[in-house]
């Protein structure tokens, strides 16, 4: 299943595609291996990936340094098998995708709104990263096993 065109596409949506969905994309892709094609996008993409998201993922061995903030419009004409929204706004504006088999809403707080010192903000990013990791790793391992 290494050909990405033949793997089911899981699209993770949030508003800005700068924090939560980027972390979820990397975590899910690692857990699912080559059984799924995982992408993330935003309903109103921020145009950047938050530096603390990059740092938080780096701490657990995931490289977001080349990630980019994408619009969900890039995926409207693709066959998306599963959509997972990670914020309420994205859940409300989520379009219908051709071929959609599954749709989940797993909300997480937005670490981009963390206040305080950089270390306090980083602690919040780690907390959200770890929550995302628990949910998306379990989902990815389950999907990998079911597709094997």
Q: What is the DSSP letter of 15?
A: S
Tokens 């050909």 correspond to 3
- Please state, in angstroms and rounded to a whole number, the distance separating the CA atoms of residues 148 and 128: 30
- Cα 122 to Cα 40, 66, 118: the distances in Å are 22, 20, 6
Q: Which two tokens stand for residue 113?
A: 């709104």
Active site residues: 14, 87, 94
Is the CB of residue 92 less than 8 Å from the CB of residue 21? no
């Amino acid at each position: 299943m290494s050909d990405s065109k033949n793997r089911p596409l899981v699209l993770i949506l949030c508003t800005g595609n700068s924090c939560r969905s980027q972390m979820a994309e990397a975590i899910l892709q690692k857990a699912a291996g080559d059984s799924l094609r995982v992408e993330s996008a935003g309903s109103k993409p921020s145009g950047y990936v938050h530096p603390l998201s990059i740092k938080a993922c780096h701490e657990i061995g995931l490289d977001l340094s080349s990630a980019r903030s994408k619009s969900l419009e890039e995926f409207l004409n693709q066959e998306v098998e599963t959509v997972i929204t990670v914020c309420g706004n994205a859940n409300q504006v989520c379009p219908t995708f051709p071929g959609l088999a599954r749709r989940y809403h797993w909300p997480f707080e937005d670490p981009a709104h963390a206040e305080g010192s950089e270390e306090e903000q980083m602690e919040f990013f780690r907390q959200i990263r770890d929550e995302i990791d628990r949910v998306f790793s379990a989902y990815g391992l389950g999907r990998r096993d079911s597709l094997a």
